[in-house]
């Protein structure tokens, strides 16, 4: 694929508003408004305490984000050696929500930020970290301590700047984060200026939520982690502001969260998902209950299978087996930045033990690891001629994308097909039972009119199917068409088609950002004419 083609197939999906906003962000830089802060709203309160967050400030000026500890000192706020995402986390100020942070420490850190980050300068003034910090400072003032006069003045300056830097060029979850900050600031202050912030934030929510929250309750970027982040955002707004009706969105998102939560209470790791960033599913459900919003199924008690037809995911459950299958699009056309080339991938669990897992997300920096974890071979699905099903590139870009051509759900079975390989179709069928899981793949040629061409003897194709096992699981090939998994004191058998050559290669899994664990990967491969059928059966011994 040429560079011109790659850029064209990436950019052609952007909305006109994204184009104009990109121009504004690049060439128009508003001057910060340093005028006095509006008066505070004395009646602002939270209906229930905001949940505490993960510990990231470790005392003695040491911070830990993304499994990377660093000691604070002059210049840390914008130290490029720390990496962009690490610095973003530092600027978020989530650590103000730790249970063990003292008022003295909070004031010192806020004062340090104000001193070392003059208006419109550095990472902290980019709209996304700006949005999260505004909310966290206000949460701190409402529930933990009191902001100083300097902090409240800075908060007003930050909000004014954000209101002129709304991320219409990115849209998606960034735009909702901007809206939340404007609502919080509009509720925190009072007067005409604060009312304008509040109305702007509510307006964004009213415009975006019907599109971004799908009818089955999943956030349209199709990442369980971002789904959880946005669910917490809506709960937070509902906690302090009842000027917008969020209850239906929250209920649908809670039901969906229950579906995309793994048997051990963690998140399935599709599409830039990682644990220990968003609040855990259990904490989100408890938070919602404290606000009087309860889900239909008690948390952790869901049984049976569930279909999410608008996002494309399906959960299959039978006996001790649970699978989460991806039979949907990679995400919204105009913002697939968190998408992986993982169409028709899945995760498989036995009781609370992960067996076949998504490779997860270690980092957002373009490079070897990011490329591998976004690739089709980095997931539990099929590659054709070594290609990716969707043309992921750089850290957050996608050119041509796989489209779903067929999809069917039947309780104990799920099937879907995609056209990410052009004239070659990949159709996958999952079937679950108390005995285990069966996966059948059919790879066949298709002409432009959709007529199946039974044979193309002129050309052979290299077909590879990958199964990524959880860290610690050992895999041994035991015959021409079988392999054995050792997981503690449990054994599992994998039977596969005799026409496939099997070998074990190395892989990695990142269940949290910055955490990379080595894994074993079973690769089944064949070079043959199409159509080709692959059958895999997984059972417990």
Domain ranges of the chain: 306-540
**CB neighbour burial string for 329-354, b if at least 16 within 10 angstroms, e if fewer:** bbbbeebbbbbbbbbbbbbbbbeebb
> Residue 454 above 60 pLDDT?
no
Distance of CA 511 to the CA centre of its chain: 12
Distance of CA 403 to the CA centre of its chain: 20
Give the model's pLDDT for residue 99: 85
**pLDDT tens digits, one per residue of 133-160:** 999 999 999 988 899 999 999 999 999 9
In which residue are the tokens 């003032």 written?
Answer: 141
Mean pLDDT of 292-301: 65
**CB neighbour burial string for 78-87, b if at least 16 within 10 angstroms, e if fewer:** ebeebbebbb
> Residue 303 above 70 pLDDT?
no
Residue 377, token pair as written in the block: 């071979």
| Pair 319, 433: CB distance under 8 Å | yes
**pLDDT tens digits, one per residue of 465-486:** 999 999 999 999 998 899 999 9
> Residue 296 above 80 pLDDT?
no
Give the model's pLDDT for residue 332: 94
Three-state DSSP string of 442-504: EEEEECCCCCEECCCCCCCEEEEEEEEECCCCEEEEEECCEEEEEECCEEEEEEECCCCEEEE
CA-CA-CA-CA dihedral for 284, 315, 437, 541, to nearest 10? 20
Architecture of the 306-540 domain: Distorted Sandwich (2.70)
Give the model's pLDDT for residue 74: 78
**pLDDT tens digits, one per residue of 391-441:** 999 999 999 999 999 999 998 999 999 999 999 999 999 999 999 999 999
**pLDDT tens digits, one per residue of 79-90:** 888 889 999 999
Give the model's pLDDT for residue 450: 43
DSSP string for residues in 88-126 = HHHHHTGGGG-TT--HHHHHHHHHHHHHHS-TT-SGGGS
Mean pLDDT of 502-520: 96
Sign of torsion over alpha carbons 149, 92, 183, 299: negative
> Residue 448 above 50 pLDDT?
no
Q: DSSP class of residue 147?
A: -
Residue 534, token pair as written in the block: 């692959």
**Average pLDDT over all residues of the chain:** 93
Residue 155: helix, strand or coil by DSSP? helix
Give the model's pLDDT for residue 457: 54
> Residue 229 above 50 pLDDT?
yes
pLDDT band with cut points at 50, 70 and 90 for residue 385: very high
The β-bridge partners of 417 are: 406, 427
Roughly how many angstroms between the first and final C-alpha of the chain, as a whole number?
Answer: 46
Sign of torsion over alpha carbons 276, 277, 281, 284: positive
> Residue 33 above 50 pLDDT?
yes
CA triplet 127, 181, 270: central angle to 5 degrees?
70
Mean pLDDT of 241-260: 94
Give the model's pLDDT for residue 447: 57
Quickly count: other Cβ atoms within 10 Å of residue 531's Cβ.
17
- Backbone torsions φ then ψ of 408, nearest 5 degrees: -150, 135
**pLDDT tens digits, one per residue of 60-71:** 789 999 999 998
Mean pLDDT of 445-462: 64
> Residue 360 above 80 pLDDT?
yes
> Residue 301 above 70 pLDDT?
no
Measured distance CA(199)–CA(503) in Å, rounded: 59
Residue 81, token pair as written in the block: 């050696």
Give the model's pLDDT for residue 381: 98
> Residue 456 above 60 pLDDT?
no
Distance of CA 243 to the CA centre of its chain: 28
| Pair 322, 348: CB distance under 8 Å | yes
Mean pLDDT of 109-133: 95
Measured distance CA(365)–CA(56) in Å, rounded: 21
- Preceding amide of 102 cis, omega within 30: no
Sign of torsion over alpha carbons 82, 84, 86, 89: positive
> Residue 311 above 70 pLDDT?
yes
Residue 216, token pair as written in the block: 């089955």
In which residue are the tokens 């200026």 written?
Answer: 193
């Amino acid at each position: 694929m040429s560079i011109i083609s790659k850029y064209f197939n990436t950019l052609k999906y952007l909305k006109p508003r994204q184009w104009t906003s990109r121009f504004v962000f690049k060439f128009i830089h508003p001057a910060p408004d340093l005028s006095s802060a509006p008066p505070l709203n004395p009646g602002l309160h939270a209906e229930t305490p905001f949940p505490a967050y993960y510990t990231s400030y470790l005392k003695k000026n040491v911070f830990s984000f993304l499994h990377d500890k660093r000691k604070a000192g002059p210049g840390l706020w914008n130290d490029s050696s720390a990496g962009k995402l690490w610095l973003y986390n530092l600027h978020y100020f989530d650590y103000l929500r730790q249970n063990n942070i003292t008022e003295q420490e909070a004031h010192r850190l806020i004062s340090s930020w104000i001193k070392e980050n003059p208006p419109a300068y550095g990472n902290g003034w980019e709209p996304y970290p700006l949005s999260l910090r505004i909310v966290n400072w206000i949460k701190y003032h409402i529930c933990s301590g009191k902001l100083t006069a300097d902090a409240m003045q800075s908060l007003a300056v930050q909000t004014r700047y954000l209101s002129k830097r709304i991320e219409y060029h990115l849209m998606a979850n960034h735009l909702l984060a901007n809206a939340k900050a404007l609502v919080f600031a509009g509720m925190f202050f009072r007067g005409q200026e604060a009312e304008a912030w509040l109305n702007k934030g509510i307006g964004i929510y009213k415009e975006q939520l019907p599109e971004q929250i799908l009818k089955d309750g999943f956030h349209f970027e199709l990442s369980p982690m971002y789904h959880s982040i946005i669910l917490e955002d809506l709960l937070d707004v509902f906690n302090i502001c009842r000027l917008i009706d969020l209850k239906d969105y929250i209920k649908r998102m809670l039901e969906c969260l229950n579906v995309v939560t793994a048997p051990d209470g963690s998140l399935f790791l599709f599409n830039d998902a990682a644990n220990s960033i968003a609040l855990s599913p259990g904490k989100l459900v408890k938070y919602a209950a404290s606000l009087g919003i309860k889900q239909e199924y008690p948390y952790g008690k869901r049984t049976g299978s569930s279909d999410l037809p608008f996002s494309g995911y399906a959960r299959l459950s039978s006996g001790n087996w649970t699978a989460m299958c991806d039979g949907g699009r990679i995400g919204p056309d105009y913002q697939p930045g968190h998408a992986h080339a993982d169409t028709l991938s899945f995760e498989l669990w036995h009781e609370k033990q992960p067996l076949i897992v998504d490779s997860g997300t270690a980092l957002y920096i373009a490079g070897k690891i990011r490329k591998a974890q976004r690739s089709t071979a980095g997931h539990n699905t099929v590659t054709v001629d070594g290609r990716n099903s969707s043309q992921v590139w750089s850290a957050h870009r996608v050119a041509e994308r796989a489209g779903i051509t067929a999809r069917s759900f039947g309780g104990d079975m799920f099937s879907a097909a995609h056209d990410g390989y052009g004239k070659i179709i990949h159709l996958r069928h999952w079937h679950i039972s108390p005995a285990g899981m069966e996966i059948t793949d059919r790879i066949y040629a298709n002409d432009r009119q959709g007529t199946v061409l039974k044979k193309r003897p002129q050309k052979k194709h290299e077909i590879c199917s990958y199964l990524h096992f959880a860290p610690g699981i050992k895999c041994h090939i035991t015959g021409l068409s079988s392999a054995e998994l050792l997981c503690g004191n449990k054994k599992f058998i994998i039977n596969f088609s005799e026409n496939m050559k099997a070998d074990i290669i190395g892989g990695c899994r990142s269940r949290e950002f910055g955490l990379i664990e080595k894994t074993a990967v079973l690769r089944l491969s064949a070079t043959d004419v199409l159509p080709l059928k692959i059958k895999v059966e997984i059972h417990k011994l």
